[in-house]
């Protein structure tokens, strides 16, 4: 058990998150017209340049140039002085078809059930720390990042620019319950004309105070705002970005293991994405049913094979039944074959860009199928 645990998040204007949103915007545009498309789309950004690469097999045409520019503009990079401008970008595209060797194992035929799009392991996690079953440090880091973008877009604080990061350190009691927030860190890109004192005052007033309940901090909580004293050069002008480089921000803030596979830009035949969503659903329903206060579920796959090669559970000593019993319950009540996951959650829809920033899990602001608690009553029978 950690006495202190820290999680971070980033805003939609962070270079890596720009890439995630572009990749998922391309995916959504393709799935809207061709739900059976195969998409593995990667994006790289740097000063004045966006490179889109990957493997896409589809019957429809996607105007990738327009999707890139529209996404960058929506994020807020619409002026040259920000160092990245939607109207003045070089957009390069290098797209090929998906490998036919991979397609042999993934595509469903009369004699072959849809298999996993790749080998690998995925994890799902849930905890009773918060009402949305997410780690408290990660939940509030994500909420702060989202609020930071809101105050910029609504011009509540009109000198902020799109790039930003947050970090929250939670302190826990000896029994593992949340005690307080020990440190809150916010870094935000800004206009060169504003003082550090003004930034700190406005960030505390308009970002931290509306998000962090007063009973979660005390006089010893340290608040850090732009600790270098200046953050004018940001976004792709300050650092290159790449799809899939914020996988811990996307998931559980480091509180759970991660299989290593990114989500953004991948259609749901890729179990890196779809199985991770399914395992969040499994974990959340188990904790909500009272079978454990905390759980991590692991599953593994072999490329081209539909049935998982393994299922593992760890309740960290919080389960009211054994971990082995929970494995059997999962096998009985949750179908983790790729096609079953896709059908259960209707994953061939354009629903992905909305989760490309601020996390894929614990999003009470979105109606996400993998966040539903429709197995709680069924699972509660095992408490008896």
Closest CA to 168 of 188, 187, 186: 186
Answer for the pair 13, 163: CB distance below 8 angstroms, yes or no.
yes
Mean pLDDT of all residues in 47-59: 95
What is the pairing mode between strands 90-96 and 49-57?
Answer: parallel
Q: The pTM is what?
A: 0.95
pLDDT(4) > 60: yes
pLDDT in tens, 324-377: 999 999 999 999 999 999 999 999 999 999 999 999 999 999 999 999 999 999
> Torsions phi, psi of 132, nearest 5?
-95, 10
The pLDDT assigned to 91 comes to: 96
> In whole angstroms, what is the distance from residue 64 CA to residue 45 CA?
14
The pLDDT assigned to 77 comes to: 94
> In whole angstroms, what is the distance from residue 239 CA to residue 309 CA?
39
**DSSP secondary structure letter of residue 355:** G
pLDDT(112) > 60: no
* Token pair in block for residue 258: 């991660």
H-type helices in 52-125, by residue range?
A: 64-75, 100-106
Closest CA to 50 of 31, 26, 34, 81: 26
Q: At 111, is the pLDDT very low, low, confident or very high (cuts 50, 70, 90)?
A: very low
pLDDT in tens, 121-171: 999 999 999 999 999 999 999 999 999 999 999 999 999 999 999 999 999
pLDDT(104) > 60: no
pLDDT in tens, 237-290: 999 999 999 999 999 999 999 999 999 999 999 999 999 999 999 999 999 999
The overall average pLDDT reported for the chain is 94
- DSSP letter string over 224-240? EESTTS---S-GGGTS-
The pLDDT assigned to 79 comes to: 85
* Token pair in block for residue 91: 């957009």
Q: At 81, is the pLDDT very low, low, confident or very high (cuts 50, 70, 90)?
A: confident
Mean pLDDT of all residues in 59-80: 94
> In whole angstroms, what is the distance from residue 40 CA to residue 276 CA?
16
What is the pairing mode between strands 310-314 and 294-301?
Answer: antiparallel
pLDDT(184) > 80: yes
Alpha carbons within 13 A on the beta-carbon side of 201: 5
The pLDDT assigned to 105 comes to: 58
Closest CA to 67 of 95, 29, 120: 29
Mean pLDDT of all residues in 56-61: 91
Q: At 119, is the pLDDT very low, low, confident or very high (cuts 50, 70, 90)?
A: confident
DSSP strands (E only) in the chain: 4-10, 38-46, 49-57, 78-79, 84-85, 90-96, 120-127, 160-172, 178-190, 222-225, 241-242, 294-301, 310-314
């Amino acid at each position: 058990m950690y006495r202190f645990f820290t999680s971070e998040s980033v805003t939609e204007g962070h270079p890596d998150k720009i890439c995630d949103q572009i990749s998922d915007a391309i995916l959504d545009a393709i799935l809207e017209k061709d739900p059976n498309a195969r998409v593995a789309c990667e994006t790289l950004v740097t000063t004045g340049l966006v490179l889109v690469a990957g493997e896409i097999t589809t019957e429809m045409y996607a105007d990738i140039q327009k999707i890139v520019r529209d996404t960058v503009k929506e994020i807020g990079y619409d002026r040259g002085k920000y160092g990245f401008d939607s109207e003045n970008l070089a957009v390069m595209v290098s797209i090929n078809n998906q490998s036919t060797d991979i397609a042999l194992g993934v595509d469903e035929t009369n004699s072959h059930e849809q298999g996993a799009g790749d080998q690998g392991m995925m994890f799902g996690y849930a905890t009773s720390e918060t009402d949305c079953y997410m780690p408290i440090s990660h939940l509030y880091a994500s909420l702060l990042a989202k609020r930071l973008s809101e105050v910029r877009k609504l011009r509540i604080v009109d000198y902020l620019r799109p790039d930003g990061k947050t970090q929250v350190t939670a302190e826990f009691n000896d029994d593992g319950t949340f005690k307080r927030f020990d440190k809150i860190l916010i870094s935000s890109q800004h206009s060169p004309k504003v003082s550090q004192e003004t930034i700190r005052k406005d960030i505390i007033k308009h970002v931290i105070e509306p998000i962090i309940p007063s009973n979660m901090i005390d006089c010893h909580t340290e608040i850090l705002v732009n600790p270098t004293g200046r953050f004018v050069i940001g976004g792709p002008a300050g650092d290159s970005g790449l799809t899939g480089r914020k996988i811990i921000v996307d998931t559980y803030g480091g509180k759970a293991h991660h299989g290593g596979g990114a989500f953004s830009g991948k259609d749901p035949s890729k179990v890196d994405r779809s199985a991770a969503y399914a395992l969040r659903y499994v974990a959340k329903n188990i904790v909500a049913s009272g079978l454990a206060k905390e759980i991590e579920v692991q599953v593994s796959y072999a490329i081209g094979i539909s049935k998982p090669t393994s299922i593992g559970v760890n309740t960290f000593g919080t389960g009211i039944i054994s971990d082995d019993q929970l494995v059997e319950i999962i096998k009985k009540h949750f179908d983790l074959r790729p096609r079953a996951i896709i059908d259960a959650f209707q994953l061939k829809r354009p629903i992905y860009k909305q989760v490309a920033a601020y996390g894929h899990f614990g999003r009470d602001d979105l109606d996400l199928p993998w966040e539903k608690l429709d197995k709680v009553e069924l699972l509660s029978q095992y408490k008896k």
